[in-house]
Amino acid sequence: MCLSIPSKVVKISDDETMCTVDTMGVQRDANLMMMEDNDVKVGDYVLLHIGFVMNKIDDEEAEKSLETYREILEAMNEQERLEAITDDDNCPNREI
């Protein structure tokens, strides 16, 4: 099962088709084509699936989820942490 960790949008491309998100300190590019035009802004929290932004989430909800993830990650070693944060790219349910 893949879990989507709330990611904060830190940059949006000039053509607004891509963005850069920060997922607990790991930055990556994500596609915005599944979202309404101008729906996502820098500073918003979003959820990703296979490299696409699927929806925005409330800041408070995002912070609560991130706190839970931090607690889980504290029990893992460094390699397990990195894999948990970046695992969305390797989701077995990737084919839609």
Ramachandran angles phi, psi of 45, nearest 5°: -95, 135
**More confident site: 68 or 89:** 68
In a domain, 95, yes or no: no
Provide mean pLDDT across the span 52-77: 91
User: Model-level pTM?
Assistant: 0.78
Residue 72 banded pLDDT, cuts 50, 70, 90: confident
In a domain, 96, yes or no: no
In a domain, 25, yes or no: yes
For residue 88, the model assigns a pLDDT of: 55
Contacts of 93 (CB under 8 A, 6+ apart): 2
Contacts of 54 (CB under 8 A, 6+ apart): 4, 34, 46, 47, 48
In a domain, 1, yes or no: no
Q: How far is 55 from 82, CA to CA, in rounded Å?
A: 23
In a domain, 28, yes or no: yes
Please give the residue range of the domain that contains residue 47: 7-90
Q: Average pLDDT, whole number, for the chain? A: 87
Q: How far is 40 from 54, CA to CA, in rounded Å?
A: 11
CATH number of the domain where residue 50 is located: 2.30.30.140
Tens-place pLDDT, residues 44-57: 999 998 899 999 99
Is the pLDDT at 96 greater than 60? The verdict is no
Provide mean pLDDT across the span 15-33: 95
Q: How many domains does the chain have?
A: 1
Closest by CA to 42, choosing from 10, 6, 7, 5, is 10
In a domain, 65, yes or no: yes
In a domain, 86, yes or no: yes
